[in-house]
Amino acid sequence: MIISKAEYLISNADVEKCPKADRPEFAFIGRSNVGKSSLINMLVQKHGLAKTSATPGKTQLINHFVIESRITEKKPKQNWYLVDLPGYGYAKVAQKERAKWQTMIDNYLTKRKNLSAVFVLVDSRHTPQPIDLEFVHYLGTQGISFCLVFTKTDKNKPMATTRNVRAFLDKMLETWQFLPQSFTTSATTKQGRDEITAFIQNVITNFYEKPTTANT
Ligand SMILES: Nc1nc2c(ncn2[C@@H]2O[C@H](COP(=O)(O)OP(=O)(O)OP(=O)(O)O)[C@@H](O)[C@H]2O)c(=O)[nH]1
Ligand SMILES: [Mg+2]
């Protein structure tokens, strides 16, 4: 995938005010500080596009980025959105703020018509955390399909990543019949970039090249 444009568009607290739902959209969600904004910057290869911070709770709204890409130099440009969402589980957030987050995210995930894929980020350094398992369980109850992304692998010995990913998937298998697609990534080494952009490309291709009905 060749990315020719990656720009910030708009931030919203309300799904109804989000930009026109006329192109495929990919959203990134996960615990506060898990590396959502860093992953977005790594994917589009634009340092500083999505604001990152060592302090949790940096991203607070639904942030849309317009992306323009093509499969190869000779192929036409395709437009899509990347969405950076605020994280959950930030301890310093008051109860009222948490309820607001819940409503905003719930509305976004259930009402956004062009939402093509949701990436749930999980920190690969930790054993399965209840808060992440609860969130994927919530997505399951809402019938929202998603991919898992295990982040910050550069901070681990390789065996620790494998062990933590396995443990998370095993926990999911206690309640899920099928496992979602999963990726392992590092914003530092760019691990996982090719795999995620290939996944995104596949979805975009399906969106723009829908077969015409075969009754002609
Ligand atoms: N070593 C390493 N550090 C990372 C990686 N991804 C993110 N970080 C660091 O982790 C911190 C949080 O990253 P962000 O991308 O801001 O995380 P976020 O999930 O967007 O956080 P909120 O918006 O606050 O919810 C920053 O200090 C990043 O530099 C990674 O893959 N490897
Ligand atoms: Mg962020």
Rounded to the nearest angstrom, the distance between the alpha carbon of 19 and the centre of ligand 2 is 20
Rounded to the nearest angstrom, the distance between the alpha carbon of 4 and the centre of ligand 2 is 23
User: Which tokens hold the place of 70?
Assistant: 């093509």
Task: For ligand 1, say whether the CB of 87 is within 6 Å of any of its atoms.
Answer: yes
Helices 130-142 and 158-173, interaxial angle, to 10°? 50
Determine the 3-state secondary structure of 93 from DSSP.
coil
Q: What percent of the chain shows pLDDT beyond 70?
A: 96
212 pLDDT tier (thresholds 50, 70, 90): low
Domain locations in the chain as residue ranges: 2-208
Point out the least confidently predicted range of 28-42, 58-72, 199-213: 199-213
Mean pLDDT of 168-177: 95
CATH T-level fold of 2-208 = Rossmann fold (3.40.50)
User: What is the pTM (predicted TM-score) of this model?
Assistant: 0.95
Helices 193-208 and 36-44, interaxial angle, to 10°? 70
